[in-house]
Amino acid sequence: MLVNNAGYGYRAAVEEADDADIRQLFDTNFFGAVSMIKAVLPGMRANRAGSILNISSIGARISPAGSGYYSASKAALEGLSGSLHKELKPLGINVTVVEPGAFRTDFAGRSLAQSATPIGDYAETAGKRRKENDTMHGTQPGNPAKAAEAILAVAESPNPPALMVLGNDAFDLFAAVAQAERTQLDQWRDVSISTGIGADQR
């Protein structure tokens, strides 16, 4: 079993972020997981068995202002995992993306980086998520021990899900985003389907 849990948070408005910081973030949160996956797959394929759990974040789905690059690194991991799931399922290897909400870990403390120089115009959006304005550290609703138990239950399941959301907050946020996306999809249906060849002849 492989659990890709290495990663850290990074907060900055998209314009504020330093290029070196962005690359380091992706090297850890995305390319680090890719390296581990490639390292274990030969053995898993030989055994026709194995489980890969890639720890993402509800941030990949809700994309908060000030967390664009972190959300993008996790969204990239989820996109990779979706394809990997389809490639490995016929070989007896399971792939699950885990999307946690806020858990009482050091994520919002020592493990959180941010851009060096804030831009004043983003004070009311990305600026509210900067470490000096953050009030979440130590008050997160999720229990890390229970999260570990849930992840083990997924890994040991004979039919694990391709996606597992962890935490009341993550569950509610996921549901809200899904509903909002469905509503917008329906609102713009006519424009969406008007783009096909011969669509004006319907």
Q: What is the pTM of this model?
A: 0.90
At 29, list the tokens: 């949160």
Residue 51 makes CB contacts below 8 A (sequence gap 6+) with: 1, 2, 93, 94, 95, 96, 155, 160
Active site residues: 70
CA atoms within 13 A on the CB side of 12: 19
Kindly indicate the confidence band of residue 103, based on its pLDDT and cuts at 50, 70 and 90.
confident
d(CA 184, CA 189): 8
pLDDT above 90: residue 30: yes
Express each pLDDT in 44-57 by its tens digit.
999 999 999 999 99
Query: What architecture is domain 2-167?
Result: 3-Layer(aba) Sandwich (3.40)
d(CA 52, CA 32): 14
Give the domain ranges of the chain. Answer: 2-167
**The pLDDT value given to residue 138:** 66
d(CA 51, CA 145): 20
Amino acid present at 60: A
**The pLDDT value given to residue 111:** 76
**The pLDDT value given to residue 102:** 85
Question: How high is the mean pLDDT of the chain?
Answer: 93
Express each pLDDT in 110-154 by its tens digit.
778 999 999 999 999 999 989 877 767 667 778 889 999 999 999
At 143, list the tokens: 């229990």
d(CA 121, CA 16): 11
Q: Is 173 in contact with 166 (CB distance < 8 Å)?
A: no
At 183, list the tokens: 């509503």
Express each pLDDT in 163-179 by its tens digit.
999 999 999 999 999 99
